[in-house]
Structure 1
Amino acid sequence: MVQHLVTAQRSFGIEEEVMLLDPETLAPVDVADEVIAELDGAPGDASVGWIGHEFLRAQVEFSSPVLADGDAAARVVGAFRAALAGAADRRGLVAASIGAPVGAGVSRVAEGDRYERFCDELGAIAADHRIMGLHVHVGVASREEGVVAMRGLRPWLAPLLALTANSPCFAGHDTGFASWRTIVGRRFTTASVPPDFLDAADYDERIRALVGLGTTLDLGSIAWMMRLAERYPTLELRLFDAQLRGGEAVAAALLSRALVDAAAAGLLPHAPAAARPELVDAAVWHAARHGLDDGLLHPETGELAPAWTVVERMLAHAAPALEASGDRALVDGAVARIRREGTGAERQRAALSEGDGALRRLLRTSFAA
């Protein structure tokens, strides 16, 4: 089966959004401009990626170069995190890779006409737009193949989200959700699970019709959990919260690549009922609420099943591509650690229950791990 899945390894890329926080209050601190200027001017290997601005002045975004394997991904993600952790520490701050900021306080919007227009369109919900994601780009041979992969992946987005949920807290409170970032993101004009498109022409026609409506300022504003990239030949998975550990971000990217392989080859099965729009969307909400603490919609039956049963089935479908790429041990190790220690959301919540000091230690030590 592997030979049908992988003829040449797909390239992939990683984008991480990180928040700079006050170590005592865990509120955002608007020093991204000076941190980016420092890191941009530091000597080093340009092949490790790009560091730049994001929507908020307390946010830093990392974009990796095009990657071919897990070792390269671990190297560039580790280099970025080490550099950012050092810059934060020199300012007495904490760099945190979390889906939503823990402490209260609002970061100002970064400069730029596009950000200002987006913020104006958000209106009263702009204050809640303090979210950080992990975006994974996976190479596709064509936009047609990308649409085929999207169709196969749609019912499996919920277990992917449950496994990587990492935003239980917001503005000083436990939200009760495993991924509050997902719930905030559902307020945008295009949000949550994308439609089931007929083909690439259908996809392109329908996204062009959305431009100018609400927060869809341009094609780059399409905010579905997965989309075809406009500048690169990739399928971009946008469902993930930013991950506590760099190794977890890398594992999520490698698992994404394997699942795109399976879906593009028609080897990621699901029952017709499980692909119904209302069920797919409800399954994502349920996963955002409960993470792995409750059942998940099983894509192959269209019914609730124990969460780890669904996750294990997803991993089984990814296994051939992971074996072919040499990534299986890394992904299996990351998943085993999550099973032992809990998701990022579970670890944050446990630390929060111990007190602010425990949460600060978790955020600081996890970022460099």
Structure 2
Amino acid sequence: MTTDKLTPGSLGHGYLIGMKVPSFGVEEELLLVSATGDPLPRSRSVVTDLPDVELELTRAMVEINTPVCQTAEELRGHLIRLRSQLAAAAAEQGARLLAIAVPPHGRAAQSITRKPRYQELAREWGLLAREQGVCGCHVHVAVPDKETATKVSNHLRPWLPVLLALSANSPIYLGQDTGFASWRWLMTTRWPSAGPPPYLESAEHYDALVAMHVAAGTLIDERMVYWDVRPSSHLPTVEVRVSDIPLTVDETVLIATLIRAIVLTALEAGTRGPKLEPEVLRAGYWLAARDGLTGRGLDVLRAEVMPMAQVVEQLRRSVEPALERLDAVELVRDGVERAFRDGNGAVKQRKAFHDGADLVAVTEVKPLVDS
């Protein structure tokens, strides 16, 4: 997120002076493509003069950053506005804007954005960086400090596979069905510090792990910690990075609200959080990435296999008191019901692909039309 929008004063202060609930905000990465769906390297011309929009690693990606939000409805309004403005700007440059997590057509290697940091990533990590034209959704929730962020991270770990399953939106990659609901997640976990975060004993433990990676040369700096949850390196937030870019704004709001509720529940618990068997968590992730909402899931706290719908319901019930405080009980209930009834992005993409429909049309973000 842009630091001029999300600052320690703007995001953290409200929580620290006793607000009932923490503020939150969202980063969404989106893909620019040609008429045929091939990644189109025009990000710099598209983002010119647009507020709250940034360049990303590849030249076919753009990122929107919401202002700090206090309610789900506020977040929804910002996402609609920003997606619409960006879609209109893309169209002016002959591009189409997709809410899709991996390129549907074209080739794997992408053109890297001409920024020093991104060029360094390309030099050091080669094809891994050039094939990283994938789009995620990152949710920031305010916490008082890094120590609290590490505790909250531990509480989030059991629910990361569920959040991945709900947001899965990348089954089709370069013209083929991958067999996974979230191919993006498998691609991102190739990085040295990606995937589920370790159980963190303290902020000092986190700092020591980052220092080890930097000393070993597996990370450039703390900003390159790509774990699915991390303390933000520049904001008083915990940042949750597990999600594919959701197909719709309503799905993003659902994911962000669930994450906010988990964080609020963790803040009120005040504990270090449950320890998990790493191999159980790994299995839960793998099921979520492969099957999304359509198959089995894993209760990673008990190592019990059950339908993913039941695992999602366990999450909803575990944060229901927090949802009540957020005035979001109906929002989450309706959002979950809609996801299983109508399908999320992965379900809709796969159906379109096997029906011979145009994936670009299915996933394209449209600008608002004046009434």
What TM-score, normalized by structure 2, do the two folds share? Answer: 0.89
Within the candidate set 36, 41, 46, 2:47 is matched to: 36
Equivalence for 1:326: 327
Q: Partner residue of 2:65?
A: 63
The residue type paired with residue 100 of structure 1 is: V
Is the 1:185–1:191 Cα contact (8 Å) retained in structure 2?
A: yes
- For residues 294 and 249 of structure 2, the distance between their equivalents in structure 1, rounded to whole angstroms, comes to 23
Distance 1:365 1:51, change over 3 A: closer
Check conservation: 1:101, 1:170, Cα contact below 8 A.
yes
What amino acid does structure 2 have at the position aligned with 1:364? E
Secondary structure of the corresponding residue to residue 100 of structure 1? coil
> C-alpha displacement at 1:365, in angstroms?
5.8
Cα separation, 2, equivalents of 1:366 and 1:286: 32
**Aligned residue in 2 for 1:44:** none
Structure 1 contact 244–344 (Cα < 8 Å) conserved: yes
Aligned partners of 1:161 and 1:291 also within 8 Å: yes
Structure 2 counterpart of 1:231, one-letter code: H
Separation in structure 2 between the aligned mates of residue 366 and residue 240 of structure 1, nearest angstrom = 22
Alpha-carbon offset, residue 264 of structure 1:
3.0
Q: Is the 8 A contact 1:220 1:230 kept in 2?
A: yes
CA drift at 1:115: 0.6
Deviation at 1:366, TM superposition (A): 7.4
Aligned: 1:277 with 2:278: yes
1:223 counterpart letter in structure 2 = Y
Sequence identity percentage: 34
Q: Which residue of 2 aligns with 1:289?
A: 290
The separation in 2 between residues aligned to 1:366 and 1:352, in whole angstroms, is 20
Closer, same or farther in 2 for the Cα pair 1:349/1:270, shift >3 Å? farther
Is residue 96–residue 367 contact of structure 1 (8 Å, CA) maintained in 2? no
**Which of 146, 149, 160 is the matching residue for 1:146?**
149
Q: Go from structure 1 to structure 2 and tell me whether the alpha carbon gap of 1:268 and 1:82 turns closer, same or farther (over 3 Å shift).
A: farther
1:178-217 equivalences under 5 Å are 178-217=181-220
For 2:265 and 2:350, how far apart are their aligned partners in 1?
34
Given the alignment of the two structures, is residue 354 of structure 1 paired with residue 355 of structure 2, yes or no? yes
Among candidates 131, 148, 162, match of residue 128 of structure 1: 131
Which residue of the partner structure matches residue 81 of structure 2?
79
Give the AA of the match of 1:361: A
| From 162, 165, 169, the counterpart of 1:159 | 162
1:162–1:288 Cα contact (<8 Å) kept: yes
- 2:25 is the alignment partner of 1:10: no
Q: Residue type of the partner of 1:319?
A: E
Per residue, is there more helix in 1 or in 2?
1
Task: Tell me, yes or no, if the aligned pair for 2:23 and 2:69 is still in contact at 8 Å.
Answer: yes
Structure 2 contact 58–130 (Cα < 8 Å) conserved: no
1:238-317 map, 5 Å: 238-266=241-269, 275-317=276-318
Alignment deviations for residues 35-92 of structure 1 (CA, whole Å, 9 cap, x no partner): 111535xxxxxxxxx1110001111111111111111101111110111121223344
1:212 deviates by: 4.8
Q: 2-side partners of 1:19 and 1:260: how far apart?
A: 29
Unaligned runs of 5+ in 2: 1-17
Amino acid across the alignment from 1:347: K
Q: 2:106 aligns with which of 104, 107, 110?
A: 104
Q: Unaligned 5+ residue runs, structure 1?
A: 1-5, 41-49
Deviation for aligned residue 1:216: 1.4
Secondary structure class of the residue paired with 1:39: coil
Distance 1:74 1:123 in 2: 37
CA distance 1:115–1:191, shift in 2 (3 Å): same
The Cα of 1:15 is off from its aligned counterpart by 0.2
Cα deviation per residue 1:206-249 (whole Å; 9 max; x = unaligned)? 21221254551110000100000011110000000011111111
CA contact (8 A) 1:296 1:304 kept: yes
Q: Distance in 1 between matches of 2:195 and 2:203?
A: 20
3-state SS in 1 of match to 2:194: coil
Cα RMSD for the two superposed structures:
2.2
Report if the CA contact (8 A) 2:151-2:273 is conserved: no
C-alpha change, 1:210 and 1:86, in structure 2 (3 Å) is same
The alpha-carbon deviation at position 299 of structure 1 amounts to 3.1
Superposition deviation, residue 178 in structure 1 = 0.6
Deviations 1:89-141 (A, max 9, x none): 33443211111111113431001121111112222333421100100001112
Q: 1:321 to 1:184 in 2, by over 3 A?
A: same
Structure 1 residue identity aligned to 2:95? L
SS in 2 for 1:260: helix
- CA–CA separation in structure 2 for the residues paired with 1:336 and 1:279: 27
SS of equivalent to 2:48:
helix
Cα separation, 1, equivalents of 2:367 and 2:290: 24
**How far off its partner does 1:266 sit?**
3.4
Contact 2:283 2:298 in 1 (8 A): no
One-letter code of the match for 2:50? L
Q: Distance in 2 between matches of 1:52 and 1:20?
A: 13
SS of alignment partner, residue 236 of structure 1: strand
Distance 2:340 2:143 in 1: 31
**AA aligned opposite 1:72:** E
> Are the structure 2 counterparts of residues 159 and 345 from structure 1 closer, same or farther at C-alpha, using a change threshold of 3 Å?
same
Whole-Å separation in 1 of the counterparts to 2:321 and 2:56: 36
